[in-house]
Amino acid sequence: MSIENLSSHKSFDGWHKQYRHHAGTLNCPMRFAIYLPPQTAQGEKVPVLYWLSGLTCTDENFMQKAGAHRIAAELGIAIVAPDTSPRGKAVADDEGYDLGQGAGFYVNATQAPWNRHYHMYDYVLQELPQLIEASFPVSDKRAIAGHSMGGHGALVLALRNPERYTSVSAFSPIANPVDCPWGQKAFSAYLGEDTSKWKDYDASLLMRSATAKVPARVDIGEADEFLHEQLKPQALEAAAEASGYPLQLNRHPGYDHSYYFIASFIEQQLRFHALYLEQ
């Protein structure tokens, strides 16, 4: 479990650091970022929020644009942000921004050539937390969150593994990927044309049949250009109503899909997670 430190920057009396390691799950090197709040310098083990980013992003977007460090420092929460896909010359890719490198969709690919590297579901669920908990002063209390494609990933991981996470949140998630162009393109490539294999990665379908439940918060911008064609929050809302899922879905007039939206409400999401991480 050797890791290489790439950079370190002090922030709100904590530290933002980047690391690289070999990911056995993905069969390639991977980079991740971690924010360690000041409490860790005093020997305290802190809980972790795993943040999953969206299409075209890396580990850097959230850490640099969301303005989350100040509140994470106050609350004593570490934040871990992995890259959004495997990368490298030997890793399969596509000319489109919405498939291949930068677009892992947090699934375990079953179709060639993607199945050699694209196992982001297992990486985020198992390998990365094992590495984080063995290498840093953190506890095994975990929450998960994400944006857009990463919001899809966060919801799916929490819905399928409720025992692993205290809470889940998402900004502008792809809530019903089996019924939108982004999801259909990615799932066809990664999982094959048998659409029955897709349901395990659709948050709306999973939430509709969920029995074990994790507190969930979703924030949607009503001026999001992808709202109706790609995100489909109404499917998630209907699923929660059908199963009695504890979903708090907040609509925000005037906000779009950008990090301006995330920065505006990241404090509310972090405080939401703190309520459950402290229990």
Question: Could you state, in order of their start, the residue ranges of all structural domains in the chain?
Answer: 3-278
Mean pLDDT, rounded, for 176-188 = 98
Q: Residue 232: pLDDT band by 50, 70, 90 thresholds?
A: very high
Assess whether pLDDT exceeds 80 at residue 66: yes
* Closest CA relative to residue 260, chosen from 147, 145, 119: 147
pLDDT of 279 reads 83
pLDDT of 171 reads 98
Assess whether pLDDT exceeds 90 at residue 34: yes
In the residue annotation, 148 being an active-site residue is answered as yes
* Closest CA relative to residue 128, chosen from 164, 167, 99: 164
Mean pLDDT, rounded, for 149-171 = 98
Considering 11, 148, 169, 172, which one is annotated as catalytic? 148
Assess whether pLDDT exceeds 80 at residue 168: yes
Assess whether pLDDT exceeds 90 at residue 1: no
* Rounded-to-10 torsion of CA 204, 209, 215, 221: 10
Q: Which pLDDT tens digit goes with each residue over 109-137? A: 999 999 999 999 999 999 999 999 999 99
CATH number of 3-278: 3.40.50.1820
- SS3 for the chain is CCEEEEEEEEECCEEEEEEEEEECCCCEEEEEEEEECHHHHHCCCEEEEEEECCCCCCCHHHHHHCCCHHHHHHHCCEEEEECCCCCCCCCCCCCCCCCECCECCCCECCCCCHHHCCEHHHHHHHHHHHHHHHHCCEEEEEEEEEECHHHHHHHHHHHHCCCCCCCEEEECCCCCHHHCHHHHHHHHHHHCCCHHHCHHHCHHHHHHCCCCCCCEEEEEECCCCCHHHHHCHHHHHHHHHHHCCCEEEEEECCCCCCHHHHHHHHHHHHHHHHHHHCC
Token pair 């505006």 in the structure block, residue: 264
State both tokens at 107.
Answer: 């699934």
pLDDT of 123 reads 98
Ramachandran angles phi, psi of 270, nearest 5° = -65, -40
* Average pLDDT across the chain, whole number: 97
> How far is Cα 73 from Cα 59, in angstroms, rounded to an integer?
19
> How far is Cα 115 from Cα 94, in angstroms, rounded to an integer?
14
Q: Which pLDDT tens digit goes with each residue over 76-98? A: 999 999 999 999 999 999 999 99
Prediction pTM value: 0.97
> How far is Cα 4 from Cα 71, in angstroms, rounded to an integer?
27
pLDDT of 157 reads 98
Mean pLDDT, rounded, for 132-159 = 98
Considering 83, 202, 219, 224, which one is annotated as catalytic? 224
Assess whether pLDDT exceeds 90 at residue 62: yes
Assess whether pLDDT exceeds 80 at residue 185: yes
Q: Residue 236: pLDDT band by 50, 70, 90 thresholds?
A: very high
Assess whether pLDDT exceeds 70 at residue 156: yes
> How far is Cα 64 from Cα 256, in angstroms, rounded to an integer?
19
Assess whether pLDDT exceeds 80 at residue 215: yes
